[in-house]
Amino acid sequence: MKLSQDVLLGLFFVVFGVVSVSVAMSYPFGTSGRMGPGYFPVIISSLLVLTGLLVLFRSQFAQPEILPAIRWKPLLLIPGAVVIFGLAVETLGLPLAVLLLTILTAATSIKFHIEWKTAAGSLAFAALCSVVFIELLGLPIPIVGSWLRVPGF
């Protein structure tokens, strides 16, 4: 089986559907007149498995298209940077979290290079975000995170 869009998508549907059916089977199914919490999930997940199989079946007849090469750097780094933002926002505070996210995401661009102007720009942006979201909009996000706070202050 050659890898193609349909093969990957079909596999995704089948795998997700099978997991979902097996989880949903553990909930009470009930009857049509009194649907249990498992009734709808089992039906929908089974349909998803079936759809996935049909997509796989279809892929055997279609002209296989060549999957274009994947640029792994942004694909890994950007979600990674978002996760780091999540880790940092409460522990380091918003300005530092924004700074980290800005620099890490910008680093994935092919045009990225380090110079003082962009560094100053990202610092200013982090400060601006903190002013707008915390001071002006009053969102309850810490400016200084829990790790950086000096005990007693």
Partner 1 sequence: MDIFNGLLLGFSTATTLSNFAYCFAGVLLGTAVGVLPGLGPIATISMLLPFTFGLPVDTALIMLAGIFYGSQYGGSTTAILMNLPGEASSVVTTLDGHQMAKQGKAGRALAAAAIGSFFAGTVGTLFIVIAAPLLASLALTFGPAEYFSLIMLGLITSMVLTSGSLLTAFGMALFGIILGMIGTDINSGAARFTFGSPYLLDGLDFVVVATGIFGLGDVLMNLENERLRVVGVAPVSSLFPTAEDWRRMSAPILRGTGIGVLLGVLPGAGVLLASFSAYALEKKISKHPEEFGKGAIEGVAAPEAANNAAAQTCFIPMLTLGLPGTATMALMIGALVVQGVQPGPEILSQQPALFWGLVVSMWIGNLMLLFLNLPLVGMWAKLISVPYHFLFPTICVFMAIGVYSINNSVFDVYMMALFGVLGYFFKRMGAEPAPLILAMILGPMAEEYLRRTLLISHGDASVFFTSPLSLGTLVVAALLLLSIVSPRFRKVREEGLQEVD
Q: C-beta of 152: minimal distance to partner 1 in Å?
A: 25
The strand pairing partners of 35, in sequence order, are 30
- Closer Cβ to partner 1, 115 or 152, answer by number: 115
- Closer Cβ to partner 1, 137 or 150, answer by number: 137
Size of site (CB under 8 A) for partner 1: 70
Cα–Cα distances (Å) from 98 to 15, 23, 71, 91, in that order, read: 36, 38, 24, 13
Q: Is residue 33 classed exposed, middle or buried when 0-12, 13-18 and 19+ CB atoms within 10 A define those classes?
A: exposed
Applying CB under 8 A, among 1, 58, 135, 147 the residue interacting with partner 1 is 58
CB 57 within 8 Å of CB 4: no
- The Cα 88–Cα 42 span in angstroms is 39
The owner of tokens 């559907």 is: 17
Q: Does 87 bind partner 1 (CB under 8 A)?
A: yes
Q: Does 18 bind partner 1 (CB under 8 A)?
A: no
Half-sphere exposure for 63 (CA within 13 Å, toward CB): 2
Applying CB under 8 A, among 18, 41, 64, 123 the residue interacting with partner 1 is 41
Applying CB under 8 A, among 66, 114, 137, 150 the residue interacting with partner 1 is 137
Task: Please give the angle made by the CA atoms of 108, 84 and 147, to the nearest 5 degrees.
Answer: 140
Q: C-beta of 120: minimal distance to partner 1 in Å?
A: 13
Interaction pattern, residues 94-113, with partner 1; x per rule: CB under 8 A: x---x--xxx-xx-xxxxx-
Q: C-beta of 137: minimal distance to partner 1 in Å?
A: 6
